[in-house]
Amino acid sequence: MTIITTPHLNFDGDARAALDFYAAALGTEATAVTYGQMGASDDPAWADRIVFGQVESAHGVRVMAFDVWPGQPWDQGVNASYVYLHGDDADEVTAVWDGLSEGAEIRQPLAPSAWAPLAGQLRDRFGVIWALDVAPDTASGAPATDS
- pLDDT tens for 89-108 read 999 999 999 999 999 999 99
- Domains by residue range for the chain, with CATH: 8-67 (3.30.720), 82-134 (3.30.720.110)
What is the average per-residue pLDDT within 48-61?
Answer: 94
Q: What is the model's pLDDT at position 76?
A: 81
Q: How far apart are the C-alpha atoms of 50 and 99, rounded to whole Å?
A: 22
Where b means 16+ CB within 10 Å and e means fewer, 120-137 reads bbbbbbbebbbebbbbee
Reported pTM = 0.79
What is the average per-residue pLDDT within 78-82?
Answer: 75
Q: What is the model's pLDDT at position 139?
A: 44
- Asked if 121 contacts 130 with a C-beta cutoff of 8 angstroms, the reply is yes
Q: What is the model's pLDDT at position 144?
A: 43
Q: How far apart are the C-alpha atoms of 63 and 56, rounded to whole Å?
A: 7
Q: In this structure, are strands 82-87 and 129-134 parallel, antiparallel, or unpaired?
A: parallel
Q: What is the model's pLDDT at position 138?
A: 52
What is the average per-residue pLDDT within 14-22?
Answer: 97
Helices (H) and strands (E) in the chain, counts: 3, 8
Helices (H), 1-125: 15-26, 35-38, 90-100
pLDDT > 50? residue 145: no
